[in-house]
């Protein structure tokens, strides 16, 4: 064996809102929660995030009213224990019940035994505690097709299933990583050529179907499209890794970023302080497509565009309700704790002492491993925890302040991202790519063109916050009138050439059903100033006033050679 790819894999299965066949008040929530972070292996590293993910998901599902909860972790997790637990939950389930099946731990790829399926020629599998690639024990790994086969056989068809794979994939990234400031952890042991690695034959499902005449599907030939009651969300595209990292809160533990986003969508509040964050139109219900859009925007923002989720939703299921709304919306909004200041580390010890002065928008740290920003004042470069050079020519405390305040503003806006109706598109390179000096960059607005939406007035406000924190209005300008969106596929189309200041720009689009006079007035007063944080309040107020009819999108543009 020359090598294979290990990465993080997590699976959820949730039944959705009670079907018409369920009697009111009889539906229950059940859960099977599985996590492995201690692998007892010389080739598979232990993880930090899954233990925290598992605890968070148990708390979340119990908040949703689950009392039938099975938890398996580390060496308790085998092929037999997982299949048996899933079969038992299927037997206990009734029409309209919710089932959550969750796995968090490493994942891997191997040469598929059956090629040419929709899943491709590689099998995604879960190496469990004690897995030895040289002496394979079928109890120590589970292939993704096994999960599908078991659900096809053991979960009744009148239970809708949402599967979310928080899994990394082999491939390349769009820009380089500066390891001096990179704090994300791909759940990856080593990379190699999977073509020389294959799994031993695994057993067929051991139990009969839960219903007489239940359709069964062989694990080897199953594809994701074969189950009409399965909605699938993947954590990353094929050329990306799924990442874990400490959360953007001081002292927070390491978490899988898709799992964290899932939890936040069902517990945090939106711009109005009332509706849940994933309830993008603030109508009191979270639909499947709203969840998919929310997760995609959050994962991209949390990973600085290095990871982007993908959703596959069967026809007719996009607008189905996720969870029973009364169970997940408390009568009063929860007051979130104040956000901690970002940590800044300076290579120059003398500069480091100046960073500790009172009244600055950061906290100074002496260990770059704890820093959100690393400042090389001699070279004038500011690095972020994503491993990116986000600003250049930063040689003074004042200039650093503009950079950090810009990122503070973006982080304050991140929880309110709502890209279901409007999204910033930056091209022509792939999302997150770095553009060199002089390159052409196109900025467009993709928006919902459905007849119902087109009949409503939509005011677009578009502006850029440069790498150094400088604010510049892009739309509407004097000749653009009120800045109303039309029905074109993409508008407006703005083309620029990359010039200094280099680093990371943020293009922010706000769409509201009425003219956002206060926000636009604030933009005029901050034009060409380092005043990004002054825009946070007006943006949040504009979204809250829109009552679910507004939209916020943030595009990141990385520039420099």
The whole-number average pLDDT for the span 166-189 is 58
pLDDT value of position 30: 83
* pLDDT tens digits along 21-74: 344 457 788 889 999 899 988 788 888 888 998 898 899 888 877 889 999 999
Q: DSSP letter at 228?
A: T
Q: Phi first, then psi: what are they for 480, rounded to 5°?
A: -95, 0
From 398, 424, 421, select the one nearest 494 (Cα to Cα): 424
Q: Phi first, then psi: what are they for 290, rounded to 5°?
A: -65, -45
Identify the H or E element spanning 375. Answer: strand 373-376
Residues 6+ apart with CB under 8 A from 466: 472, 501, 505
CB–CB of 190/43 below 8 Å?
yes
Q: Phi first, then psi: what are they for 240, rounded to 5°?
A: -130, 160
CA distance 131 to 118: 27
Give the 3-state DSSP-derived string for 471-489, with helices as H, strands as E and coil as C: EEEEECCHHHCCCECCCCC
Q: DSSP letter at 433?
A: P
Helices (H), 307-450: 325-328, 349-355, 397-413
CA distance 446 to 511: 12
Please count the residues of the chain. 561
Q: Phi first, then psi: what are they for 89, rounded to 5°?
A: -65, -40
Per the prediction, the chain carries an average pLDDT of 81
Higher pLDDT, 20 or 456: 456
Rounded to a whole number of angstroms, the CA Rg of the chain reads 24
CA distance 38 to 418: 37
pLDDT value of position 17: 33
Pairing of strands 230-234, 310-312: antiparallel
Identify the H or E element spanning 150. Answer: helix 144-154
Give the HSE-up count for residue 192: Cα atoms under 13 Å, Cβ half-sphere: 15
User: Dmax over Cα atoms in the chain, in whole Å?
Assistant: 76
CA distance 370 to 363: 11
pLDDT value of position 253: 78
CA distance 96 to 398: 58
The whole-number average pLDDT for the span 124-153 is 88
Cα end-to-end span (Å), the chain:
39
Q: Phi first, then psi: what are they for 534, rounded to 5°?
A: -70, -15
- State in words which class domain 5-175+186-328 has: alpha beta
Domains of the chain: which residue ranges? 5-175+186-328, 343-411, 415-559
pLDDT value of position 349: 85
CB–CB of 184/243 below 8 Å?
yes
Query: How many CB atoms lie under 10 A from the CB of residue 156?
Result: 18
CA distance 286 to 266: 9
Q: What percentage of the chain exceeds 70 in pLDDT?
A: 80
pLDDT value of position 506: 97
The whole-number average pLDDT for the span 342-346 is 94
CB–CB of 224/119 below 8 Å?
yes
- Using the CB atoms, write b or e for 256-266: b if 16+ within 10 Å: bbbbbbbbbbb
CA distance 510 to 458: 10
From 487, 441, 484, 443, select the one nearest 461 (Cα to Cα): 484
pLDDT value of position 188: 52
CA distance 367 to 181: 11
Percentages helix, strand, coil for the chain (3-state, rounded to 5) are 25, 25, 45
CA distances from 556 to 44, 246, 283 (A): 34, 21, 29
CB–CB of 266/323 below 8 Å?
yes
From 148, 343, 144, select the one nearest 252 (Cα to Cα): 343
Please state which of the ranges 196-205, 384-393, 475-484 shows the lowest mean pLDDT: 196-205
Q: Say whether 335 sits in a helix, a strand or coil.
A: coil
Strand runs labelled E in 385-533:
389-391, 422-427, 434-435, 440-447, 459-465, 471-475, 494-497, 503-512
pLDDT value of position 338: 59
Q: Which of 87-91, 97-101, 229-233 has the highest mean pLDDT?
A: 87-91
Q: What percentage of the chain exceeds 90 in pLDDT?
A: 39
* pLDDT tens digits along 507-555: 999 999 999 999 999 999 999 999 999 999 999 999 999 999 999 999 9
Higher pLDDT, 399 or 156: 399
The whole-number average pLDDT for the span 469-481 is 92
pLDDT at 329 over 60: no
CA distance 271 to 545: 9
Please state which of the ranges 364-373, 407-416, 490-499 shows the lowest mean pLDDT: 490-499
From 142, 111, 145, 137, select the one nearest 127 (Cα to Cα): 142
- State in words which class domain 415-559 has: mainly beta
Strand runs labelled E in 12-96:
13-14, 29-35, 68-73
From 496, 522, 505, 507, select the one nearest 558 (Cα to Cα): 505
Residue 102, burial from CB neighbour count under 10 angstroms (0-12, 13-18, 19+): buried
* pLDDT tens digits along 199-236: 888 888 988 887 544 444 444 444 444 667 777 777 77
pLDDT at 313 over 50: yes
CA distance 530 to 404: 10
The whole-number average pLDDT for the span 171-179 is 53
């Amino acid at each position: 064996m020359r090598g294979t790819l290990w990465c993080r894999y997590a699976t959820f299965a949730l039944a959705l809102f009670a079907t018409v066949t369920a009697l009111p008040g009889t539906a229950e929530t059940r859960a099977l929660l599985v996590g492995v972070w201690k692998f007892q292996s010389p080739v598979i590293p232990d993880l930090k995030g899954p233990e925290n993910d598992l605890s968070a998901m148990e708390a979340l599902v119990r908040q949703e009213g689950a009392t039938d909860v099975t938890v398996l972790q580390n060496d308790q997790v085998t092929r037999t224990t997982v299949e048996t637990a899933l079969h038992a939950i299927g037997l206990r389930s009734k029409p309209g019940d919710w089932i959550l099946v969750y796995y968090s731990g490493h994942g891997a790829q191997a040469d598929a035994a059956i090629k040419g399926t929709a899943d491709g020629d590689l099998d995604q599998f879960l190496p469990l505690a004690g897995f030895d690639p040289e002496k394979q024990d079928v109890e120590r790994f589970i292939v993704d097709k096994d999960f599908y086969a078991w659900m096809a056989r053991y979960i009744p068809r009148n239970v809708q299933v949402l599967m979310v794979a928080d899994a990394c994939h082999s491939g390349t990234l769009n820009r380089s990583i500066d390891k001096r400031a990179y704090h994300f952890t791909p759940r990856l042991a080593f990379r190699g050529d999977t073509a020389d690695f294959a799994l031993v034959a695994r057993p067929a499902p051991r139990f009969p179907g839960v219903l007489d005449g239940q359709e069964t599907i062989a694990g080897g030939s199953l594809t994701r499209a074969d189950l009409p009651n399965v909605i699938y969300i993947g954590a990353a595209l094929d050329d990306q890794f799924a990442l874990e990292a400490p959360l953007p809160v001081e002292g927070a533990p390491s978490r899988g970023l898709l799992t964290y986003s899932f939890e936040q969508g069902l517990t945090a509040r939106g711009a109005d302080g009332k509706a849940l964050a994933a309830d993008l139109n603030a109508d009191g219900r979270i639909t499947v497509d709203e969840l998919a859009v929310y997760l995609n925007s959050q994962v991209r923002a949390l990973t600085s565009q290095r990871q982007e989720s993908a959703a596959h939703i069967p026809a007719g299921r996009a607008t189905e309700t996720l969870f029973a709304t009364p169970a997940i919306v408390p009568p009063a909004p929860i007051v979130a704790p104040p956000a901690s200041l970002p940590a800044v580390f300076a290579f120059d010890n003398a500069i480091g002492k100046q960073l500790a002065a009172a009244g600055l928008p950061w906290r100074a740290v002496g260990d770059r491993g704890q820093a959100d920003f690393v400042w090389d004042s001699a070279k004038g470069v500011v690095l972020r925890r994503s491993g990116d050079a986000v600003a250049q020519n930063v040689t003074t405390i004042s200039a650093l302040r503009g950079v950090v305040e810009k990122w503070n503003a973006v982080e304050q806006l991140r929880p309110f991202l709502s890209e279901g109706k409007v999204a910033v598109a930056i091209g022509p390179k792939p999302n997150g790519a770095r553009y060199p000096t002089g390159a052409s960059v196109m900025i467009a607005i993709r928006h919902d063109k459905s007849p119902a939406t087109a009949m409503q007035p939509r005011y677009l406000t578009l502006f850029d916050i440069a790498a150094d924190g400088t604010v510049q209005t892009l739309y509407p300008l004097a000749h653009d009138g009120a800045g109303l969106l039309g029905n074109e596929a993409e508008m407006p189309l703005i083309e620029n050439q990359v010039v200094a200041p280099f680093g990371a720009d943020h293009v922010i689009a706000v769409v509201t059903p009425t003219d956002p006079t206060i926000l636009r007035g604030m933009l005029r007063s901050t034009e060409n100033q380092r005043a990004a944080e002054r825009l946070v309040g007006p943006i949040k107020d504009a979204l809250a006033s829109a009552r679910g009819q507004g939209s916020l999108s943030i595009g990141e543009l990385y520039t420099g050679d």
